[in-house]
Amino acid sequence: MIPITAVDVSEAEPLVIEVLRSGDIAAGPMVQRLEDGFAELVGTRHAIAVNNGTTALVAALQVLDLPPDAEVVTSPFTFVATLNAILQAGATARFADIDPDTFTVAPDTVNAALTARTAALLPVHLYGQPADMAALAPLARRAGLPIVEDAAQAIGARTAGRPVGSHGLGCFSLYATKNVTTAEGGMITTDDDTLAERLRLLRNQGMHGRYDYALAGHNYRMTDLHAALGIPQLARLDELTAARRRNARALTEGLAGTPGLRTPVVGGHAEHVWHQYTVRVTEQARVSRDELAERLTAAGVGSGIYYPRLVFDYDCYREHPRVRTGPLPAAAAAAAQVLSLPVHPRLTAAELSTIITTVREILG
């Protein structure tokens, strides 16, 4: 089976052993090293490590001190953590539609979703492709709204000359399947000294000095054992991303002209990091999207549907008092058509050609 993701953390062994031998296995020098690496990558003054990407989003929203009736405008086509974080932070979620080419929120629909209660924008850089920040950042500035970027899938991506995560509060995930992993982990990036200070307090029970509490906090800490896993990957990120880009190019060339299949489109100015390589299986295809996925599995090619439904399209959210839905035709069409194929850095040339020939055989 050619897996949809493959993780290699073997390079971290010496660092993990160093932590074990030090006896200092909770927060310490490795967390600091990982934070420094992230701040450098994103070009922000601060990076604050937390225990997962969902926590990063929750904490980012919490330090903004949103009013009780605050609405956060986000994408309906995302992993459920985006929505859960908004709800966990006590805010109301409102959705903008997506751009059908990039799968990220379309700025004109974000503009249309703004209300008197809108308190933050939460674009999602889906599949490793940045949302249109060149349009969203000025839109937020004009409306006086902070930006929280869900960059969980987009470590190292850039758009309009700037790294994702540098437009306000950047939230990254270091979960096992993400482009850089610490098994579980998250990171928040910001240039704002006050927010950074509050995030560090919030992460550690609101504690200034020993038993001196400045705010009602939580335990959002990352451990040194986890941080050690991510340090070598972050150091090699350019190389790992270059491999993803090469694989994406090979897939797009190899799959070009396949009937009923649309290969991914990279938006203008976007530097995509290919967390996922996601095609659309259109109505013209000989088989349905789901049948293509089944036949790929039978042929030993892994694939994934990210995501089969809009994020709120479940009873627990449809009936939730703090979820505001509406018609979102572009996102609904994407959910019905998308299929992600393996693009991870460990793919071999032979595996890439197996993926291409198998898809072409099934679609004719």
Ligand X SMILES: *Cc1c(COP(=O)(O)O)cnc(C)c1O
Positions touching ligand X (CB under 6 A) are: 52-54, 78-79, 81-82, 124, 150, 152-153, 173, 175, 186
Q: Which is nearer to ligand X, 99 or 285 (CB)?
A: 99
From the CB of residue 241, how many other CB atoms can be counted at a distance below 10 Å? Answer: 22
Q: Which is nearer to ligand X, 60 or 119 (CB)?
A: 60
Nearest to 151 by CA among 165, 166, 134, 136: 165
* C-beta nearest to ligand X: residue: 53
Distance of closest approach, residue 181 Cβ to ligand X, in angstroms: 9
Distance of closest approach, residue 357 Cβ to ligand X, in angstroms: 30
Nearest to 84 by CA among 249, 256, 312: 312
Residues in the chain: 364
From the CB of residue 168, how many other CB atoms can be counted at a distance below 10 Å? Answer: 26
The C-alpha atoms of residue 8 and residue 364 are separated, in whole angstroms, by 35
Q: Which amino acid is at 99?
A: D
Q: Is the peptide bond prior to 127 cis by the omega test (within 30 degrees of 0)?
A: no
Contact 89, 99 (CB under 8 A): no
The C-alpha atoms of residue 223 and residue 301 are separated, in whole angstroms, by 35
Distance of closest approach, residue 306 Cβ to ligand X, in angstroms: 8
Distance of closest approach, residue 127 Cβ to ligand X, in angstroms: 9
Q: Which is nearer to ligand X, 186 or 342 (CB)?
A: 186
Contact 244, 345 (CB under 8 A): yes
Buried b (16+ CB within 10 A) or exposed e, 280-297: bbeeebeeebeebbebbe
Q: Which is nearer to ligand X, 52 or 263 (CB)?
A: 52
Q: What are the start-end ranges of the E strands in the chain? A: 46-50, 71-74, 92-95, 118-122, 148-150, 158-159, 162-163, 169-173, 186-190, 207-209, 212-213, 261-262, 270-271, 277-281, 323-324, 338-341
Distance of closest approach, residue 122 Cβ to ligand X, in angstroms: 10
Q: Which is nearer to ligand X, 104 or 358 (CB)?
A: 104
Q: Which is nearer to ligand X, 75 or 263 (CB)?
A: 75
Distance of closest approach, residue 300 Cβ to ligand X, in angstroms: 26
Q: Which is nearer to ligand X, 75 or 358 (CB)?
A: 75
Distance of closest approach, residue 173 Cβ to ligand X, in angstroms: 3
Distance of closest approach, residue 186 Cβ to ligand X, in angstroms: 5
Q: Which is nearer to ligand X, 129 or 173 (CB)?
A: 173
